[in-house]
Structure 1
Amino acid sequence: MSLTSIFDVAGSGMNAQSVRLNTTASNIANAESASSSTGEVYRGRHPVFQARMLEQMQGGMSLPQGQSAGVGVDVTDVIESDAPLQQRYEPDHPLADDEGYVYYPNVNVVEEMTNMISASRSFQVNVEVMNSAKQMLQRVLTLGQ
C-alpha cells in the first residue's frame, strides 16, 4: 500500500461521513413533522457502510493467505428505520385521524445529535489523516536536498 493510497481511503471515509451527516440532518429536520396516517409519516433514515476490500496488498508487503485489507468505505444503501412510529392522541390537531391520533416520525433527536457529532468528528479525523499524509509526502520530497 503506497502513501498516496491514504488519500483514497481518507477520501472515501469523508464521503461516507458526509452522507451520514446529510441523512442525520434530514432526520432532525423532519423529527416533528406530523401526519394523519402511518403510510404518510416520515421514517428515520440511516446509511449502510461497507468496507472496500483488497485481497492482497500490492507492493512490498503481502498479507497471509486468505486475509484481506480494507482500502476504503462505500455507502451501499440508505435504509429506513423500522422503529415504531410515535402515535399521539391530539384530537384538536388539524391532521388528527378519525380516532383523534396524530402520527409522528420514529426519530429520536438525542440519538440523531449524537450521530451528527460522531460523523462530524469522524470527518475531522479523515481530514487530519490527509493533512498528515500530505506533510509526510512533502518531507519525503525534501530528503534529497
Structure 2
Amino acid sequence: MTFDAIGIAGSALTVHRKWLDAVSDNLANMNTATRTSGKAFQARYIEAAEGSNGNGVYVKSTPQGSATGRLVYQPDHPLADAQGYVRYPDIDLAEQMGALIVAQRGYQANAQVVDRARETYQAALEIGKS
C-alpha cells in the first residue's frame, strides 16, 4: 500500500511539473509579438488521464492554443504591418495564474504524500529491526 501511494503520488508530481512548465511557458510568451503574416505563440495545455488500473496519472496529450492569436494596433512596433497591426498570443493572464496556483498546490500536496509514505515505510522498517 505504501509503495502504491509513492507511485501514484510520484506520477501526479510528474503531471503537475509538466503543467507548471506549460503555464510558465505560456506566461513567459504572452507578450511575444509576431508579424501578422505569421502565427502567434500557441499556448500549451496539459491533458491528464488516469493510469491503468488506477495506478496514478499520466499526460495524455499536450494540446496547443490557437495560432491566430489577437491583432493589436501598434503602428510604432517594429513588426507592425502596413496597417499598424501586430499579432499577439491569445493567452488570458487570469486563467494562467489560476492554473499556476492549482498546479503548484497539486504538486505540493503530492510531494507531501510521498514524504508521508516514505516516513511510514521507514517507521515500519524500524519496527521490523526491533
Higher strand share: 1
Higher helix share: 2
Give me the identity figure in percent.
Answer: 31
TM-score calculated relative to the size of structure 1? 0.80
Q: How much does 1:133 deviate?
A: 0.9
Flag as ranges the 4+ runs of structure 1 deviating above 6 A. Answer: none
Classify 1:38/1:9 alpha carbon distance in 2 versus 1 (closer, same or farther; 3 Å). farther
1:90 paired to 2:74: yes
Q: How much does 1:98 deviate?
A: 2.3
Kindly provide the amino acid, as one letter, of the partner of residue 44 in structure 2. R
TM-score calculated relative to the size of structure 2? 0.89
The structure with the largest alpha-carbon Rg is 1
State the Cα RMSD in Å: 1.8
Quote the residue 1:22 is aligned against.
21
Quote the residue 2:7 is aligned against.
8
1:135 alignment partner, one of 107, 119, 122: 119
Q: Is the 8 A contact 2:30 2:88 kept in 1?
A: yes
Counting matched residue pairs gives 129
In structure 1, list runs of 5 or more residues that go unmatched: 55-69
Query: For 1:63-142, what aligned pairs fall within 5 Å after superposition?
Result: 70-82=54-66, 85-142=69-126
Kindly provide the amino acid, as one letter, of the partner of residue 11 in structure 1. G
Quote the residue 1:42 is aligned against.
41
Classify 1:83/1:118 alpha carbon distance in 2 versus 1 (closer, same or farther; 3 Å). farther
User: What SS does the corresponding residue of 2:86 show, helix, strand or coil?
Assistant: strand
Kindly provide the amino acid, as one letter, of the partner of residue 110 in structure 1. A
Q: How much does 1:109 deviate?
A: 1.7
Q: What is the CA deviation profile of residues 60-118 of structure 1, one whole-angstrom value per residue up to 9, with x for unaligned ones?
A: xxxxxxxxxx2111112211124962211122221112222111101112221221111
